[in-house]
Chain A
Amino acid sequence: MTDDKIIQLFFQRKEVAIEETHKKYGSYCFKIANNILNNKEDSEECLNDTWLKAWDSIPPTRPIHFNLFLAKIVRNFAINKYRSKHTHKRGKGEIVLVLDELEECITGQSDVETLYIAEELQNTINKFVRGLSERDGNVFIRRYFYADSIKDISNLYHISENNVRVMLSRTRNKLRIRLEKEGYI
């Protein structure tokens, strides 16, 4: 079923909208959640939360890119779940590596606890990614939005895994400088 038709079902408040969304984007959203949670039950729970959120949001929202609309929601639920479950213990899977890599960007010279507004940080990251070359930007997004593995990224873009690692490392360094410059760290 086309996205237009599914969204139309949401607007008509027909519950089959959720079934169709699950049918079409279930595996897509599951992968995003599972990349973060590395746990089937938790990921499926996130999926259900996502469908519910979509149900509550449409209408009035009419997503332009339905898959990305769902991707953002499911990612958010997955991060929140990850946080609540891993406050005191180290998790497993790709997300651990991803977060460890990101830690490089925020461990600078300054150890001052900085207050920031989440929305401003999102803006900064958005601008930063937009300023990258298409190749660097895409690789960065696959790793830190979708939490894709290095191997998956390598396969997707037909570049060697080593190349992916080097690109990510350079880009993280640039991000660290940017965050430092804008006072986040």
Chain B
Amino acid sequence: MNKEDLFQGFGALDDDLLKRSEHGGKTMKKGKKFSGFLKYGSIAACLVVALGVGMLFMDNKTPNPDTVPESSIVAESNDNASAEQSNIQEKPESYVNISMLLASNAGVESQTLEIGLVEIEKYSAHYYKVASVESDILKESIGGKVDGTESWYRVSGHEDMQYLISSNNNEYSLWKFDSFQQESYPYSDVLQIIYNIHSVEDITKIIVSPANMDNSDEGQTIQDEIGTSVVADYKAIETIYNVLSGLTCYGGDNWEMIGLGDDTPSSMLNQVRAGRYLTIVTSQGMEIDTLKYTGISGMFYEYGGIAYNTLTMEEKTTVEKILNIELIDETSNSVTEQSETQNKTNEESENNRPATSSTTQDVPVDEETYQEAREYSAELTDLQNRISEAMMNKELPFVTSSAIYENPDRVHVTVNTTDEDLIAKLRAFDTTGKLLEIEYSEHTAVKGFVTSLE
């Protein structure tokens, strides 16, 4: 083997790994123990981050995909499926990390779309086959049988049904949920039946990535500017959860309804500006990465043209505030029109969502003022995230804490040095020169804490 062979050997890396590497560094996990470190920072509270704070956020109850040893990725093995079933009934199933089952060098040639129909409760659910590890590993990773079916199994240790394993003549394959076969259905059923999300507590964070329908240089620039962020604030997650729970899904091939716009370069760029891709991380460690949002029509949608109802103006404003979407004027007009037509249908579900309504009370009436506030808030969050990341990387050992403060809004950083070079290094993070407030403290405390100014 020579070095070229080795380089070529990297050519069949799984898509999920490649996709993951496309994201910028703001949400990249440094180690295996940190979770939810980067907070959504533009809410009314302030978040104080100190060295060592990561330990406070260690997630002990969630099965961490990174920490599952390879040897334990499969359930206790037996020789046949029936024996596995009896075995499973006797003792708790081992938790199988889905990422360990996905696409092992399936190659581009085998990526044809296969759809399976599974009867789940009152629905016929569409699942599509995904590239996975070998059949024998899947066989060892099956959990309980899906009620009422003969050959569909949950993944071992999973209460959700985002992925199922199917057996066919002793050949096992992995399938992912697509949609229910019905003209329309409440998304709350998908959340509960498929994803096992019954309340906001079942969601630990939401990763928000830029939409990538335009990868031209200009499109890439916009994507880079938007970057990836993490919504970890409870109130923000609750707001999103409440909106999602009230959605109606209209199934696939509904691109007209989604109304992203035409394919002109300016329209495509606008789609990137107004679009976000969501990855919901559940308390069980599952990642649901199918939901997308576009501010153009104020609608959630999915790959394959799966459309949802348009959000009310109030919901739209709140959601976009959380997702950090800034729309240009010409689209917001059309959105207003489209949204108003849907307002009536959403009024009923809206009544059940006090959190959503209360959050929007703070929204300034003047859109221009609001826009400025959002931009400023995004800059603050970005600065805070970059400093936090640098602290985690030990690039700023003289910084003992960094926090977003209000009135006036700024990132407040405490340092234990007066060295001008070091302070200049810190100041360089603030490209605007107006967001950073530096405080000298002799204390080198490393204990982290979270507090609120309210």
Contacts and interface: CB of A to CB of B under 8 A. Distances in A.
Interface in B200-241: 212-217, 220
B83 interface: no
Contact of A157 (B3, B17, B24, B212): B24
Nearest to B102: A130
Contacts of B17: 126, 129-130, 137, 141
A99 B104 CA distance: 24
Contact of A159 (B100, B260, B393): B393
Contacts of A4: 255, 303-305
Contacts of A119: 12, 105
Interface stretch (B28-36, B52-60, B191-199): B28-36
Contacts of B390: 158
Contacts of B108: 57, 61, 63, 69, 72-73
B7 A79 contact: yes
A118 to B, nearest CB: 7
Contacts of B386: 158
B5 A121 contact: yes
A163 interface: yes
Contact of B15 (A60, A68, A100, A142): A68
A127 interface: yes
Contacts of B4: 79, 82-83, 99
A52 interface: no
A47 interface: no
A123 B131 CA distance: 14
Contacts of A142: 21
B112 interface: yes
A133 B66 CA distance: 7
Given A24-B216, A135-B29, A72 B21 contact: no
Interface string B7-35: 11111111101111101111011111000
A122 B105 contact: yes
B395 interface: yes
Given A25-B215, A79-B8, A156 B112 contact: no
A144 B7 contact: yes
A144 B220 CA distance: 21
A184 B9 CA distance: 12
A46 interface: no
Interface in A138-177: 138, 141-142, 144-146, 156-160, 163
Given A63-B111, A135-B30, A158-B25, A122 B12 contact: yes
Contacts of A27: 215-217, 220
Size band of the interface chain B makes with A = 35 or more
Contacts of B338: none
Among A25, A57, A135, max chain B CB count under 10 A is at A135
A7 B105 CA distance: 22
A76 B393 contact: no
A23 B11 CA distance: 24
Nearest to A36: B7
A125 B10 contact: yes
A20 B215 CA distance: 12
Contacts of B393: 159-160, 163
Interface string B330-346: 00000000000000000
Interface in A50-64: 57, 60-64
Given A116-B1, A126-B12, A133 B215 contact: no
Interface string A1-19: 1111100000000000000
Contacts of B365: none
Among B19, B99, B109, B215, max chain A CB count under 10 A is at B215
Contact of A72 (B11, B19, B220): B11
Given A25-B215, A158-B26, A72 B12 contact: yes
14 contacts: A1-B213, A28-B215, A61-B109, A61-B111, A118-B8, A121-B1, A123-B104, A124-B9, A127-B70, A129-B17, A133-B66, A146-B21, A157-B24, A158-B26
Leading 10 A-B pairs by shortest Cβ distance:
A157-B25, A122-B12, A141-B21, A138-B21, A1-B263, A121-B9, A158-B25, A134-B29, A103-B3, A99-B3
Given A118-B5, A130-B99, 18 more contacts: A1-B213, A1-B263, A4-B304, A24-B214, A62-B113, A63-B111, A67-B212, A98-B7, A105-B6, A126-B13, A126-B105, A133-B30, A133-B31, A134-B29, A138-B23, A158-B26, A159-B25, A159-B393
Interface of A: 1-5, 20, 23-25, 27-28, 57, 60-65, 67-69, 71-73, 75-76, 79, 82-83, 98-100, 102-103, 105-106, 114, 116, 118-119, 121-127, 129-131, 133-135, 137-138, 141-142, 144-146, 156-160, 163, 184-185
Interface of B: 1-15, 17-21, 23-26, 28-32, 66, 70, 99-100, 104-105, 108-113, 130, 212-217, 220, 255, 260, 263, 268, 303-305, 386, 389-390, 393, 395
